[in-house]
Amino acid sequence: MAIDLKHLTIEKAHDALAKGEYSAVDLAKAYLDEIKKKDGEIHAYLEVFSDVIEQAKHADEIIKSGKAALLTGIPLAVKDNILIEGKVASSASKILEHYRAAYDATVIKKLKQDGAVFLGRTNMDEFAMGGSTENSAYGPTKNPHDTTRVPGGSSGGSAAAVAAGLALAALGSDTGGSIREPASFCGIVGLKPTYGAVSRYGVMAMGSSLDQIGPFGNTVADTEILFNAIKGQDAMDGTSMDFPEKKPKSKMKIGVPRDLLTIGGIDEAVLKTFNESLEKLRKLGHEIVDIVLPNVKYSLAVYYIIVPAEVSSNMARFDGMRYGTRVPGANGIEEYFLSREAGLGAEVKRRIIIGTYVLSSGYYDAYYNKANTVRDIIRDDYRKAFEKVDVIATPTAPSVAFKLGEKLSDPLAMYLEDIFTVPMNLAGVPAISVPAGFKEIDGKKLPIGIQFIANHGGERTLFALGRNFLGEK
Amino acid sequence: MLEIKDIEHLATLARIKLSDAEKAKFQKEIEPILGYVAKLKEITSVTGEEKQAGEHRNITRPDADVTETGTNTKKIVAGFPEHDGDYLKVKKIL
């Protein structure tokens, strides 16, 4: 039977599976057909798994036994930096081209217990470094709304898969906007959870003090279901913890940091959509107030010191010795140099070099220590703000999806795309991007997102506001 | 101003071989990035609140349910670039 994938949600699919309207195998086949039809052009997937139908059969058995969870039989896409035992996990890098994961990431273990179906692993910027998915060693992903444009990044493959109907929902990771920016560019919902809300055991580390795994969905409800399935304290990640559930208020006080919107370089259409969205929120009964976050303007500078520093440390393990690609050399040391030269891409090398510089003797205090001190005062800005408001709202990204190749030769311009998303990673607070409008260029409607930010552990507040904003029940 | 020899030194510290073209490219690209992040120097007096207790803490677990030796060996060895039985093979170091 034909399944209407276009309007499908996790809840609808779950109901249909439970009632036996179609099986998990039918549903998986429907998505595999879509992938076959469309992914040649979009290139959201690096690999579609060969055992999808077997996974779906297993889900059907769970459904038959009457023990189905909400995600049983739900077809998901997984970012290529999250480990699934026995499957290749390359982080879209040449150095891990043939690397097979030796264990399941905690999020994967949880989803397997629920009987979710993994369709494949999705394209990304190499080791999650980038904002356009153009830094993949396997070619870029295209934006489903306009295939001459980027889907955003680094989780661009996951976002494009969900937006193009090539997966019902997906997992990504967010270190400075890598879930929210592609969600905004692709017109879907993406959540960066509170630092520590989701275990990072089994996700490849990029900026360890900032990384979080998070969900993508077509609706806020789908995003929430996936988040609830993967969250929670895990003995394998010492930074993970359970956050007490706070019941969201029905009428919220929403703070708008106006000074951050006057920095220039923000697309007029993005500002217009943002202001219209605030008006909509006001009409829904929420109170909009101006707030000041005096030090948040330094976020991007702090971020592009802390991230390269952590990257240069985290990437040291990729040396061709214990796993990954090894390029033969005259001696062991030369093999490090050659393996890293051949295996790592330009952006990864660039960040390693910058990281080595800011951590080197004589510069450490001026860069890394200073960045960490300023990070603390940025965190304080948020702490103080959340004494007065329930939620903070900003645009998700300063522009709509840009053209493939447009910013590739200017790393700093690419970094500036993260201006609204990095502060939350520095502060560790959760943030969600939801679709707010479009900008029409050359007859193509390009999505614009709005970002809602809550205090630590405030995901339920974000889901409640997101649903209210989009008119979901 | 970063010179080519600085880039070479950093690449050596980071154990990466760079081509001459890459060195020149990185020299050109890294300069504006360092210029941008240098704006933190504007902040001369930092008056952040005191750190809250418990922010950094050690996580330990009981010495129980220890994974038995050999449980994961096969999977790990399968990922070695070169091996001799269960030994990881690398070039002579000294």
Sequence-distant (6+) residues with CB within 8 A of A47 are: A87, A88, A120, A121
Tokens of A435: 């679709």
Sequence-distant (6+) residues with CB within 8 A of A13 are: A27, A73, A74, A168
Spatial contact of A163 and A172, defined as CB atoms under 8 Å apart? no
Alpha helices in A133-210 (DSSP H): 156-163, 180-186
Contacts of B88 in chain A (CB under 8 A): 321-322
In a domain, B23, yes or no: yes
In a domain, B21, yes or no: yes
Give A392's Cβ-side CA count (13 Å radius): 29
Residue B50 pLDDT more than 70? no
Residue A51 pLDDT more than 70? yes
Catalytic site residue A79? yes
The SS3 of residue A66 is coil
* Position B60 confidence tier, pLDDT thresholds 50, 70, 90: confident
Q: Do A349 and B16 touch (CB under 8 A)?
A: yes
d(CA A96, CA A118): 20
pLDDT at site B45: 63
Of A221, A148, A168, A190, the residue nearest A446 (C-alpha): A148
In a domain, B63, yes or no: no
d(CA A399, CA A149): 12
Contacts of B13 in chain A (CB under 8 A): 356, 360
- Token pair 């913890």 is found at A241
pLDDT at site A223: 98
- Per-residue pLDDT tens digits for A408-426: 888 888 888 899 999 999 9
Contacts of A300 in chain B (CB under 8 A): 36
Task: Determine contact: A376 vs chain B, CB below 8 A.
Answer: yes
Spatial contact of A327 and B84, defined as CB atoms under 8 Å apart? no
Q: Which amino acid is at A15?
A: D
B20: containing domain: 4-42
Average pLDDT over residues A138-144: 98
Tokens of A342: 């051949």
- Count up the domains in chain B and report the number: 1
Residues A179, A181, A185, A190: is their CA dihedral positive or negative?
Answer: positive
Q: Do A357 and B36 touch (CB under 8 A)?
A: no
Total number of residues shown for chain A: 473
* B-interface mutation test, from A99, A199, A353, A415, most B Cβ less than 10 A away: A353
Catalytic site residue A154? yes
Residue B53 pLDDT more than 50? no
Residues A81, A160, A213, A380: is their CA dihedral positive or negative?
Answer: positive
In this complex, which of B30, B36, B91 lies closest to A335 when CB atoms are compared?
B91
Residue A30 pLDDT more than 70? yes
Q: Which amino acid is at A3?
A: I
pLDDT at site A414: 85
Cis peptide before A240, with omega less than 30 degrees from 0? no
Average pLDDT over residues A269-290: 98
- Domains in chain A and their CATH numbers? 1-473 (3.90.1300.10)
* Position A246 confidence tier, pLDDT thresholds 50, 70, 90: confident
d(CA A57, CA A51): 10
Average pLDDT, chain A: 96
- Token pair 């030769």 is found at A409
Residue A305 gets the label, from left (phi > 0), alpha (psi -120 to 50) or beta, of alpha
In a domain, B91, yes or no: no
In a domain, B52, yes or no: no
Give A203's Cβ-side CA count (13 Å radius): 26
Q: Report the relative pairing of strands A169-174 and A75-79 from DSSP bridges.
A: parallel
Residue A53 pLDDT more than 50? yes
d(CA A190, CA A155): 10
Tokens of A204: 């490849």
pLDDT at site B64: 85
d(CA A174, CA A171): 10
Spatial contact of A121 and A166, defined as CB atoms under 8 Å apart? no
Residue A7 pLDDT more than 70? yes
Q: What percent of chain A has pLDDT over 90?
A: 94
* H or E element, residue A446: strand A444-453
Residue B36 pLDDT more than 70? yes
Q: Which amino acid is at A416?
A: L
Average pLDDT over residues A108-135: 98
Tokens of A387: 């004494």
Average pLDDT over residues A213-221: 98
pLDDT at site B41: 87
In angstroms, what separates the C-alpha of A11 from chain B's closest C-alpha?
Answer: 37
d(CA A218, CA A75): 13
* Position B44 confidence tier, pLDDT thresholds 50, 70, 90: confident
Average pLDDT over residues B33-57: 71
pLDDT at site A4: 93
Average pLDDT over residues B5-23: 96
In a domain, B29, yes or no: yes
In a domain, B54, yes or no: no
- Per-residue pLDDT tens digits for A94-105: 999 999 999 999
Which one has a higher pLDDT value, A238 or B46? A238
In a domain, B80, yes or no: no
Q: What percent of chain A has pLDDT over 70?
A: 100
CATH number of the domain bearing residue B24: 1.10.20
* A-interface mutation test, from B40, B50, B56, B83, most A Cβ less than 10 A away: B40
- What count of other Cβ atoms lies within 10 Å of the Cβ of residue A291? 19
Q: What is the chain B residue with the closest CA to A209?
A: B56
Q: What is the chain A residue with the closest CA to B60?
A: A238
Of A99, A141, A95, A78, the residue nearest A352 (C-alpha): A95
Residue A432 pLDDT more than 90? yes
